[in-house]
Structure 1
């Protein structure tokens, strides 16, 4: 949602920090609810952001009823169930990065507008890999790839959408593109040190 102001995060590790930093760059996030079994991690997360956001600890369901939910855990059995999300929550499934990992209940994935970053990667090791391998999800359940939305071939989230899910495995091309932007910025600002990495100079 363009007017999203609340972010729930399940998992308070390193990825939780980058999720909040990134999402707050593109949405006016005011309220943050973080859920994790490790109280020390939750306390550290709150301490890091309480000067910039209304951030508090909450249950998975409280996090899931925010406008946006990011899941960043390594679990193999879903911890976010259908009753844990709002009617129009957008979910970023970030934690599943290997075969067998699975954070979000199949019922949510089946009923959501499901967007993936890469077909081969997501069906093998993304959030959808387990229900995909079991035949619970198939091609008809996937709305499209994020690239199709970015270039305008498919519409993104609309006001009619209920729950939406983005299954992100992370793509090397995204890393290269981000590195290029950083490099160009550093070069323009005169930052960093040039060196001959490949010994070609």
Structure 2
């Protein structure tokens, strides 16, 4: 039995943004069709100044694949101390029929790609059809991933950006304008940026003052990405009071996502949550129903997204004869 090994560069060559978006749409539909077993994910928080490492495991019954991903983040000293990124990931795939290990691949790129694709899927389902202005609160790698994916499903005329770090803002502006030719307007305050948004993307690490409800204009679609652990927060809970709330996983978002905060403050109840995005994609529940509706997509990330994306990469690698094989068992 041979196992395929794929490094980050190989993974990057084996899948397009459009394929990732399709894989994530399939993941959400599968999750709400009884085709997935997905235990609660585990996290280990390391002593400061280190960050955290998460473990996500899932079984996709349709293609008989099991995946396990280890994903770290917040290790800010890594570049200087070890010459490594601040976050890394590894995905391992098993054939569920035998539980044989079939592939080991870099998971850091996949995490970024499928998280970016989740925002794009939510924009297709929930943003206004004439939306043209994006606001990015946070300007790191995931902010770029969101733009790359959303650019596949929406015509972006302008991007408003805010970050606490002027150097990161300047680099984000230069990178995005060079890659896409879309003008990036840097704002003095977070409030100024949010007030411009047709689509508001929050990709911080869930620290700092949250986006305030008074800043959000009617008709805004919010892609809430940065809160995936208890204790993180990007949005004032009051934003949820009159919004249409859509989550990737109700179980996860109610316990670890942005949705936990309005639940905890008794601003909403679980009955006020419109549904999971897979239900909308399957046509079981409506998406946006009027132009002035504020919609929120709370994404904590799910193992099934990793499975469908990683499986597509694995199949493409076999078809294109990419990667290196090794054997545990002869």
What's the TM-score once normalised by structure 2's chain length?
0.57
Whether the 8 Å CA contact 2:198–2:219 is kept in 1: the answer is: yes
Distance across 1 between alignment mates of 2:238 and 2:163: 23
Please report the RMSD computed on the Cα atoms of aligned residues, expressed in angstroms: 1.9
Structure 2 gaps of 5+ residues are: 1-127
1:108-139 CA-partner distances (Å, limit 9, x unpaired)? 11111000111111011100112223433211
Whether the 8 Å CA contact 1:102–1:129 is kept in 2: the answer is: no
Distance across 2 between alignment mates of 1:191 and 1:158: 46
Q: Which moved more, 1:114-123 or 1:67-76?
A: 67-76
Corresponding position of 1:57: 186
1:84 shift after superposition:
1.4
Distance across 1 between alignment mates of 2:252 and 2:270: 14
Whether the 8 Å CA contact 2:135–2:200 is kept in 1: the answer is: yes
Q: How many residues align?
A: 199
Corresponding position of 2:322: 192
Structure 1 position 91 matched with structure 2 position 228: no
1:143–1:168 distance in 2 versus 1, CA, 3 Å = same
Select the structure of larger CA radius of gyration: 2
The structure with the greater share of residues assigned to strand is 2
Determine helix, strand or coil for the equivalent of 1:111.
coil
Stretches of 4+ aligned residues off by more than 6 angstroms: none
Counterparts of 1:144-155 in structure 2, within 5 Å, are 144-155=275-286
Greater relative contact order (Cα 8 A, min sep 6): structure 1 or 2?
A: 2
Distance across 1 between alignment mates of 2:185 and 2:291: 30
Corresponding position of 1:5: 132
1:78 shift after superposition:
5.0
Q: 2:211 aligns with which of 80, 85, 88?
A: 80
